[in-house]
Amino acid sequence: MAEKRKYARKYCKYCEAKIEYIDYKDAKILRHSLSERYKIMPRRLTGNCKRHQEMVELAIKRARHTAVIPYIIDTRKVVAVPFEQIQQ
Ligand SMILES: [Zn+2]
């Protein structure tokens, strides 16, 4: 049985936006690769290229350390935000 595709077509959003360097202070850019629980989305789901995925991983880890984005999120505060909305 064919597996239902949960996510839209894959392409690297950072390549599309021609981003050469991902700034850890820019949470808006990082959100492309974060789940609703602020976990780093794997490349197979986001479609990021390897180069940008590595950049974004580093940026997200720095952003967590500098409290730009949280490490963990209170389960009561989690709202069911679909992945599609985060992409915007
Ligand atoms: Zn890319």
> Which pLDDT tens digit goes with each residue over 8-52?
678 899 999 999 999 999 988 898 899 888 899 999 989 999 999
Whether 80 is covered by a domain: the verdict is yes
Quote the pLDDT of residue 10.
81
Structure tokens at 78: 């989690």
Give the tens place of pLDDT for each residue, 41-78: 999 989 999 999 999 999 999 999 999 998 988 776 65
Question: What residue numbers bound the domain in which 33 lies?
Answer: 13-86
32 falls within a domain: yes
Domain assignment present for 8: no
DSSP 14-75: HHHTT-SS--TT-HHHHGGGB-TTSPBPPHHHH---HHHHHHHHHHHHHHHHTTSS-SS--T
CA of 7 to the centre of ligand 1 (A): 18
Q: Does any domain span residue 7? A: no
In a domain, 62, yes or no: yes
- CATH number assigned to the domain comprising residue 51: 4.10.640.10
Cα–Cα–Cα angle for 54, 42, 76, rounded to 5 degrees: 115
Task: Evaluate whether residue 1 is within a structural domain.
Answer: no
- Reference 87, options 19, 29, 27, 32; nearest CA is 32
- pLDDT at position 81 is 53
What is the amino acid identity at position 1? M
Q: Measure 79 CA to ligand 1 centroid, in angstroms.
A: 29
- Please state the length of the chain: 88
In a domain, 46, yes or no: yes
| 38 in any annotated domain | yes
Residue 38 Cα to ligand 1 midpoint, Å, equals: 20
Q: pTM of this prediction?
A: 0.74
Measured in Å, residue 67 CA sits from the centre of ligand 1 at 25
Ligand 1 centroid to Cα of residue 75, in Å, is 32
Instruction: Tell me how many domains the chain contains.
Output: 1
